[in-house]
Amino acid sequence: MRVSCIVLFLGAFVLSTGTVSAVEKLELPINPKCNQAQIDRKGLNSNQTGCTAITRSAWDWKYAPINRELLEAKFKHHKIEYLTYHHQALFGESIETALKTGRQSEINQAKKEVRRKAELRLRAKGIREQVTNINGGNCANGECHFKKFGDIAYHYIVDQYGNIAEGRSLDYAPGTYTKSYGTNKIHDFKNHLAVMILGNFDAQELTREGKLALIRVLSAGQRKYKIETKNIQPHKHHANSSCPGVNILSLRGKNAIPEMTLLYSLQSELIDRGCKPQAVSQHVFLDGKYGTMTETALLRLQADNPSLNYEIVSDQMLMSLLENPQYRCK
């Protein structure tokens, strides 16, 4: 007999991973609260509605070159097996300096100043200008990715408002300065899809819209490349780094990024299969949390498809849906 409550389970599940072709990429996962008329494809100004979505070709090419030779020589990879999330660590040097003093008052003051400057930049500049500066427009200050990594280091960039920008091609692994644990060797991030959120989360708190933007991209990658939830991890999991900051790393349980990504992926599948309650808007349903709306939709899907008999929310359930598009709500 099917139980009325479906339990969350993140146990191991063996599955095949997706292959990245020469041109294959994710469709930019648009903020579901934005309609087509609201979407800003240029990103020239700070968009506090979270409706900016820009491709790599929308960048300012004068300050955003791509070094194809370097990318081909050092970063070429052929599949996606891991999803990794990062932060910009904006103005992080001031926090590092304060930490060396060991005085909590100076550490607190440094974090307060980082929050102020990061929030000011977010309000003043659009996501396009910020990612352009990271890649090549701010070389004098050391923030210049194309010289070291061939292009901006990340595949996708999001901000605290929920805006998104496309970064380097998925044909190439992310760039990094960080080393593998216990070695002096730069860690190899081949077969990773990297998402970075603008800001510094050793000082800032992750907003709801920022978290959902991050999860939205991770979920799109999980569904496209059939990634196990255990392979959705922060930068720090793989390399000797504090990234993506203590205020993201401290998220646990139902608020943890991997767990919310799995639920967001299942919610997305339920929408695509016509299972979302009609009275509930899409952006309300897509919250990455397990509640009455999600449970009702899952039970409806199971009732209409008896062979889909899972009583726990798991990778197995998600992969079964991805492998069987015929499962739909009637």
Indicate the number of domains in the chain: 1
pLDDT digits (tens, 9 = 90+) for 65-78: 888 999 999 999 98
Q: Which pLDDT does position 142 carry in this prediction?
A: 54
- Please tell me which of 98-107, 128-137, 190-199 the model is most confident about, judged by mean pLDDT: 190-199
Residue 264: inside a domain, yes or no?
no
pLDDT digits (tens, 9 = 90+) for 162-218: 999 999 999 999 999 899 999 999 999 999 999 999 999 999 999 999 999 999 999
Give the structural domain span for 91: 29-252
Residue 271: inside a domain, yes or no?
no
Residue 194: inside a domain, yes or no?
yes
Global pTM? 0.90
Residue 14: inside a domain, yes or no?
no
> Residue 69 sits in a domain of what CATH number?
3.40.80.10
Q: What is the mean pLDDT of the chain?
A: 87
Residue 326: inside a domain, yes or no?
no
Residue 286: inside a domain, yes or no?
no
Residue 303: inside a domain, yes or no?
no
Residue 239: inside a domain, yes or no?
yes
Q: HEC states along the chain? A: CCCCCCEECCCCCCCCCEECCCCCCCCCCCCCCCCHHHCECCCCCCCCCCCEEECHHHCCHHHCCCCHHHHHHHCECCEECEEEEEECCCCHHHHHHHHHHCCHHHHHHHHHHHHHHHHHHHHHCCHHHHHHHHHHHEHHHCECHHHHHCCCCCCEEECCCCCEEECCCCCECCCCCCECCCCCCECCCCCEEEEEECCCCCCCCCCHHHHHHHHHHHHHHHHHHCCCHHHEEEHHHHCCCCCCCHHHHCCCHHHCHHHHHHHHHHHHHHHHCCCCCCCCCHHHHCCCCCCHHHHHHHHHHHHHCCCCCCCEECHHHHHHHHHCCCCCCC
